[in-house]
A = this chain, B = another copy of it.
Amino acid sequence: VAILTDDRRSPSVIAEALLDHGVDDFRAYVCENVGGSNERIVESDLSDLVGQEFAALNVLLLLRDPTPSPCTKGSGRSEGRAPLLGIPDEAFHQRRPPDGLITKSEVRAVALAKLAMREDSVVWDIGAGSGSIAVEAARLAHRGQVFAVERNPAAVADIRQNVIEFGVPQVEVVEAEAPEGLSALPDPDAVFVGGSGRRLADILTDVCGRLRPGGRVVVSLATVENLNAALQTLRSHGYAAEVTQVSIARSRDVAGLTRLQALNPVFLVTGERMGTRE
């Protein structure tokens, strides 16, 4: 939205009105004296605009804020508190038992790094579970599109709730089984496969055909058989595939001493489509 402000409807007054209506997730750019020698652009959160004085005539530009700053505090919504990367596992809505379902925070970070997204990437999260990867991907690729594909209705409900709580409306939830549910989606730059329901080879074959040049697919695997299947499938489609095994141990305080507890190791298989990203 762009608003030409005047004496009465000043940036401060407009900001106050919006905040009164619970709207707080915009970034404001006040462009004073546009084209004049004393031209100035002020970037601000809405709450910081209140009370500020500007020239009489301004262009007030309001852009939806994909990664709200912490000044949204007091809104009671969690997205203001959540970091760009490193949301704690327990902050996500998820089915029980939590341990078995969610890709752990540390593994998520490595997987997101392997996906090598850009801010406008098209991302698929297949077998999205609670949507933890989709949510964090959307915070990184904040001008892109993220599709969370999940066939389990209870998990879909979790994803929807997480999308709201973490303020990532660019995540589109697709309740479908892969690979069938993928046909309607735009070709991806980055694909994460967190669950495959025994259809891993089918899914990867589909993904290999759809990835854009220079795009990446990252498959998270817990079993030896799927690890092997992922490697074979990717290579049969001409992809160079690499494996990264991630073994994490987290400390637990036991009687004042720091004991290390291991998470189960995870294999990440990364494939990259040859060619240069357009």
Contacts and interface: CB of A to CB of B under 8 A. Distances in A.
B260 A116 contact: no
A247 interface: yes
A118 B34 CA distance: 31
Contacts of A242: 250-251
Interface string A203-238: 000000000000000000011111110010000000
A1 to B, nearest CB: 8
Given A140-B85, A245-B248, A224 B119 contact: no
Listed residue (A105, A118, A120, A277) with the most chain B CB atoms within 10 angstroms of its CB: A118
A246 B245 contact: no
Contacts of A246: 106, 246-248
B224 A243 contact: yes
How many copies altogether? 4
B4 A83 contact: no
Contacts of A70: 118, 120, 277-278
Q: Which 9 A-B pairs have the closest CB atoms?
A: A86-B113, A262-B262, A83-B116, A243-B251, A109-B113, A4-B35, A223-B257, A228-B228, A247-B247
Nearest to A120: B69
Contacts of A119: 67, 69, 84
A257 B112 CA distance: 26
A93 interface: no
Interface string A54-93: 0000010101000101100100000001011110000000
A104 B191 CA distance: 23
Listed residue (A226, A244, A254, A260) with the most chain B CB atoms within 10 angstroms of its CB: A260
